[in-house]
Amino acid sequence: MTRAEFLKSVDEILELAPGTLQGPEKLEDFPLWDSTAMISFMALADSNNQTKLAPRAMGACETVEDLLRLAKVE
């Protein structure tokens, strides 16, 4: 999965219009970034990038970019 496809999937998880997220956005600014969204992102990384994400490490992410880095999205 490319970076653009990943971002589009995160748009969907956060119920945003496709193309909204670019990377520098702060997660705390999205009210829908909750435990359900975290699970959806974990499933996304597991399915498409074969990356298992530790919830604690996800909790430490401040921006969308941090999440992509954790999921090893190029």
Question: What is the binding site for other proteins (CB under 8 A)?
Answer: 31, 34-36, 38-40, 42-43, 46-47, 52-55, 58
Choice between 40 and 63, CB closer to other proteins: 40
Give min distance, CB of 34 to other proteins, in A. Answer: 5
Choice between 22 and 31, CB closer to other proteins: 31
Which of 57, 65, 71, 54 has the alpha carbon at shortest distance from 25? 65
